[in-house]
Amino acid sequence: MDLQNALWRPGVPSQTVIQFGIMLDRRNFLTICSQFGFASTLLPGTLYTLATQAQATSASSDAAHPSVTPGSAAAPNKALAKITPEMLEQAAALAGVTIAPNKIPMMLEGLNRQREGYQAIRALHLPNSVAPAFIFDPLPPGATLQTERESPNYGSAPVVGRAPKNLEELAFDTIPQLAEYVRARKVSSVALTEMYIARIRRYDPELHFLITLTEERAMAQARAADAEIAAGKYRGPLHGLPWGAKDLLAVKGYPTTWGAGGFQHQMIDEDAIVVQRLDAAGAVLVAKLTLGALAMGDKWFGGRTRNPWNRKQGSSGSSAGPASATSAGCVAFSIGSETLGSISSPSTRCGVTGLRPTFGFVPRTGAMALSWTMDKLGPICRAVEDCAIVMSSIYGPDEKDLSVRNAAFNWDVDFDWRSLRVGYIKSAFEMPKAVDEQMPQGLSAEEQKKWPQRLAERKAYHARNMYDLKYDLATLEKLKSMRVELAPVELPKLPFDAMTTLLSAEAAAAFDNLTMTGRDKLLTEQGPYDWPNTFRIARFYPAVEYIQANRARTLAIHQMAKIFETVDILVTPSGNEQLVVTNLTGHPAVIQPNGFRGNDAPIPPATDTGNEDNIGGPGTPVSITFLGNLYQDAKLCAFARAYQRATDFYKMHPGLSS
């Protein structure tokens, strides 16, 4: 997930820092929160935090548990401070909730009893792999699915010549090309695997995309693939091809680190279902690749994964390693994940092709959970056709991830993509509004000092958007030249940014033990927008508001369904509001390069904050996104492939030092 690109882009309020480790008296606590504009979402968290603070003032309690955070699940036997009428009045005032004074006494017993229930559940020490007892379904009422599976139509095998003396000349070939070399036994899987492992060793010190090299496992798989192919037992186009896994996928016998400090040595004694399915297809796992810590951004416990097109910048995230390694020609393909931009963002930065499947198409069993209602696994490859080939092997129910539907992904390379109705998000292709240079009223003295810098940053962001717009418009012109009729469409007008708090709440629950035991201090990044602070803030999000946001999400599903009654494909720039909308509604997306910035591109900022994907500068890739209807991923890929074959952007690869 790339919350940085989705939630914290310009125009979206930043989250505010409340460090639970800083002891504030209740009046100061309420004053500070009021200044930051917190409202009704804070009533439960405020109430229980006030009570926890009262408990934490006990010196004897601190002495008994010197290393435990107040309220920690690691100290279930600590006596909980009672919630008092004063606390409830203060919390209600902060939340903007009116409670009649004569009603407060009757609430206290229930509130204290309810909090005791929290402790009982925390004492279960629920692992990340335990999902909630509810399942998100993106399908609106009345929707139908194609469930009958058909054999994939991969088309005719490409013509390949003799293997080059230097196998690294094949490093950037597509899956069909590599598959034909291996199938025809012109290149062995062992030789191909050794070549990619050598490239990983050569380029990782510069790009930092590797967490664990799975060399022993890979060479055993490669030898087995060669033996099977020699015996006439060819499993299909992935047989013998080396790939890399985002290190939130469990692989037996190897660490599964989730990219996070404190988890470097975590061993999960199973193979993720996606890993099992790629094993069954004969693919060769060569590496576990980086992700930003707990699937945020491109910073992990070993540093920052780099963009092969501009190594001064990060690769974006959170599928940082898969995108970087694929872009650098160090694997034939990779598997990433997206919750809110984590395939889209690094695919854009690194100039590769990503498929974010429909929510509920690919099982997540054995993958780290961040948001049970938004997580999706998908391929990151060189070409759309590659993504479709990988998708053909990894989709479908596994009887463990109950969100997965029995829907068919019937890849047909000969599908008539011209039969599809195509729309484009009209407002997303319009000229960005000019920057308002007027200093806002009411800024503090400190904020006034920072205003010139903020204004300069906004102008630079606007200039980059203006420059990149020409590539988006060129895509529309290219589609028109392909005789595609484009219908203007607009996204629903709903408070989508407010709904993204669902993700934070689910993520905080997925990693509840980190927050409650204080182990969140082990995570590398500790800024206001990083997970430790986000998890703390999420504890202030009440159940009622979580349910209300999900109800708003239902409206979004219905309104998006109406759009897809009129079109089959939506064309859109990769980084606008659609990224939030379609991740909430579960729609599939293909992200692919649609050009490269020229020498006249705006100079990138000196510091890569990870907040935007448009900062690459001269010579770096830009991308376009094609959206499809739910579980119509095969048709979406057919259309995206047609555009990709009408251009040559996917054939470009970064120049790397030898």
What confidence tens digit (pLDDT) does each residue in 332-372 have?
999 999 999 999 999 999 999 999 999 999 999 999 999 99
pLDDT at 38: 39
Q: Are 246 and 337 in contact (CB under 8 A)?
A: yes
pLDDT at residue 161 above 80?
Answer: yes
- Of 47, 7, 10, 5, the closest CA to residue 29 belongs to 47
The mean per-residue pLDDT over the stretch 189-213 comes to: 98
**Could you give the percent of the chain with pLDDT greater than 70?**
88
Using the structure block, give the residue that is written with the tokens 């309690």. Answer: 61
Query: pLDDT by residue (tens digit) across 426-467?
Result: 999 999 999 999 999 999 999 999 999 999 999 999 999 999
Beta-bridge partner residues of 245: 288, 335
DSSP H or E stretch at residue 505:
helix 501-510
Residue 33 has pLDDT above 90, yes or no: no
Q: SS3 string of 178-245?
A: HHHHHHCCCCCHHHHHHHHHHHHHHHHHHHCCEEEECHHHHHHHHHHHHHHHHCCCCCCCCCCCEEEE
Instruction: Give the distance between the most distant pair of CA atoms in the chain.
Output: 87
3-12, 347-356, 629-638: which has the minimum mean pLDDT? Answer: 3-12
Residue 501: the pLDDT is 93
Q: pLDDT, tens digit, for every residue of 80-115?
A: 788 888 888 887 776 677 888 888 888 888 888 877
Q: Which fold, 167-418+632-642?
A: Amidase signature (AS) enzymes (3.90.1300)
pLDDT given for residue 99 in this prediction = 82
pLDDT of res. 592: 98
Tokens matching residue 415: 């599908």
Confidence tier at 606 by pLDDT (50, 70, 90): confident
The answer to whether 185 touches 229, Cβ cutoff 8 Å, is yes
- pLDDT number for residue 97: 75
Residue 372 or 120, more confident: 372
Q: According to the model, what pLDDT value does residue 102 have?
A: 87
- At 176, give phi and psi (nearest 5°): -60, -40
For residue 168, give every residue at least 6 positions away whose Cβ sits within 8 Å of its Cβ, in sequence order, or none: 195, 199, 329
Give the tens place of pLDDT for each residue, 285-302: 999 999 999 999 999 999
What pLDDT score does 25 carry?
39
Q: State the pLDDT at residue 563.
A: 98
Question: Above 60 in pLDDT, residue 323?
Answer: yes
Rounded to an integer, what distance in angstroms lies between the CA atom of residue 156 and that of residue 561? 36
Distances (CA, A) of 75 to 59, 111, 119, 536: 15, 20, 10, 18
Residue in this structure with the two tokens 């540093």, named with its chain if needed:
303
Average pLDDT of span 124-152: 94
- Region 291-317: what's the mean pLDDT? 96
Q: What is the mean pLDDT of the chain?
A: 88
Residues 6+ apart with CB under 8 A from 346: 2, 298, 315, 316, 317, 318, 319, 320, 322, 323, 324, 336, 352, 354, 380
Long-range contacts of 87-92 (CB under 8 A, 24+ apart): 87/26, 87/47, 87/50, 87/51, 87/54, 88/47, 90/26, 90/30, 90/46, 90/50, 91/42, 91/43, 91/46, 91/47, 91/50, 92/43
| Model confidence pLDDT, tens digit, residues 473-528 | 999 999 999 999 999 999 999 999 999 999 999 999 999 999 989 999 999 888 88
Q: pLDDT value at position 114? A: 77
552-581, pLDDT tens digit by residue? 999 999 999 999 999 999 999 998 899 999
For the segment 383-404, the average pLDDT, to the nearest whole number, is: 98
Residue in this structure with the two tokens 């990693």, named with its chain if needed: 511
Instruction: Identify the pLDDT of residue 120.
Output: 81
pLDDT of residue 554: 97
Q: Calculate mean pLDDT across residues 135-150.
A: 95
| Entry field: residues in the chain | 658
Task: For residue range 240-278, list pLDDT tens digits in order.
Answer: 999 999 999 999 999 999 999 999 999 999 999 999 999
CA-CA distance, 345 to 342, in Å (whole number)? 6
pLDDT of residue 104: 85
